[in-house]
Amino acid sequence: MSKDMCWTSASELGRAFARGTTSPVEAVEQALQRAERLQPLFNFMVLIDRDGALAAARAAAARWRKHEPLSPLDGVPTSIKDTTAVKGWPTRYGSHATDETPAAEDAAVTARLRAAGMVFIGKSTTPEFGWKALTDSPLQGTTRSPWNPNHSPGGSSGGASSMTAAGVNPFNHGNDGGGSIRIPAAHTGLVGLKPSYGRIPQYPADSPFADVISQGVLARSVLDTALALNAMAGPDPRDWRSLPAEDRDYTIGLDGGVRGWRLGLSLDFGHVKADPEVRALVEAAARRFEALGAHVEDVGPLIAPLKEPFEALWSGSFGVRLRQIPTQLHGKLDPGFRALAEQGLSVTLADYARAYEAKSKLARDMALWHQTYDLLLAPVTPTAAPPVDTLYNSDAFPRWTKGAPYTLPFNLTGAPAASMPAGLTQAGLPVGLQIVGPPRADHRVLQAMRAYESACGWSWPQERVLKTLAGLQSSA
C-alpha cells in the first residue's frame, strides 16, 4: 500500500492492517497531520485529540498483530459530530449556550464505533444545535467546502462532509433530522445514508427532534457505508424506539443488482422548483438504473408542500430548546436560530398534535406507495451548494422550498434514504441523487446504491477537489 493513505477507503485500510503492510498508527498519524494542515482552510473540526487518537491507534495495532481485531474497522480514524457525546469531551453544539463540561459517557452511536475499534481523532463542526442545512455557528465560525471554499459543505453534518471530501479519513459520523447527512453528502459528492429510524439507537435522546433523527456516516464508498452500519446498528435497551436486531451483514448482497426492480422518479414532488441543472443531472443519474435492468417510471406529483402541516413541528421543537437556554444567553445565539425558536414559543399543543397526525399520514401514504415501487428516486436538494454567506431560512433561501424540501419527508416517515453523486454543475459543484426505500429496507437501499456506484464512474480523489486543495495550500 502507498504510504499516502489520505484517499484510502476504510475497507482497504482494514485489509492492509490484516496483511501488516501498514498499521493503524501510520493511518491515524496521517489523518491527524492532514486534519491539522487543512483545519485553518476549512474549519471542519471543533477539537483534535492527537494524544488520545495515537494511544487508541497503538492499541488497535497491537490487536491486529495478535490477529484479534475488534472488527474490520479496528484502527480506522474517524470523528464524531459535535451534537453527540464522547466521554471526556465537551458537547458544544456550536453554541455559546453550552460549556466545556466533559461528557460523562459516550452516546450510543459513539460507543458502538468505539467498540468496533475505530479511532476518534476529534469532533466535527455543526451549526448551532444542528438547526440548518449549512454549517456555520456563533461558537465555531464558518465551515467551508473543499470543492470551493466560497461555498458551504452543507449541514448540519458539514464538518463531517468537508473532512471526508478533503481526504482526511475514509468516513465521519453525522446525523440526520431533516437531511443533515444527505444534504452535505450531495453538496460534497459523497455517499450519505440516513438509515431507517431506530436502526441505530438514540441515546441520550435529549433532542427535541429525537423522533426524526437517524445516526450515520458520510463516506466516499458504499462498502464503507455498509461496514459502518454493521458497527452501529442494533437495539439498545436505553432507546425503546430502537429496532430489533437484524441477523444481517450489510456488506453481503451489496452486488445483487437491481434487475427487474420498479423505481419511481419524481423530480419535483409536484411543487419543488429545482434548478434546471439539478433536474437534468438527477434525471440522467436516475436513468442509469435502466441500463442496470430496472424499470424507471416518472411518477409525477407525490408529496404535498411541507410548510403548512409541519412548521409547528419544526419551530415548536426549537422553541423547546430555547426554553432550556438561560435568557441572558439569548443574545449570543445565531439570529436565525433565535428567530425560529421564538416563533416556536407560540406553538400550541393542538398545532403540534396536528403536525404529528400529518406525519403519521405521510408515513402511511409512502408505505402504501412502496407496495407498487421498490424505490423512489429524487433530487437531494433544489440547488447545488449555496455560498457560505447564505442566510438560511431567509426570503432568499427558505427552508421549506430551498433547504430541505426533498429530504425532510423521509425523516418524518422514518424510511431509509441516501444521497449518491449525480454529477457536477457547470460551476463545478456536486449534485446528489436521492434513493429512498420502503420502511426498514436499509439493505435494499444499500444494494441500489452499490449498483448505481458501479455504473456512474464517480471515484475519489476528485480532480476538482485536488486542484482546490493544491491552490489553497500553495497560497497559505
User: What type of residue is 110?
Assistant: T
DSSP state of 438: S
- 416/36 Cα distance (integer angstroms): 34
What residues act catalytically?
81, 156, 180
Taking each helix axis from N to C end, the angle separating 24-42 and 10-19, rounded to the nearest 10 degrees, works out to: 150
Q: Give me 281's grid cell.
A: 443531472
Answer whether 392's CB lies under 8 Å from 399's CB.
yes
Helices (H), 298-408: 307-323, 335-344, 349-369
Beta-strand ranges (E) seen in 357-429 are: 375-379, 417-424
Paired residues of 392 in beta bridges: none
Residue with cell 444534504: 183
Distances from the Cα of 137 to the Cα of 35, 130, 140, 229, angstroms: 20, 9, 5, 29
CA-nearest of 169, 147, 140 to 156 is 140
- 302/300 Cα distance (integer angstroms): 6
Buried b (16+ CB within 10 A) or exposed e, 288-314: bbeebebebeebeebbeebeebbbbbb
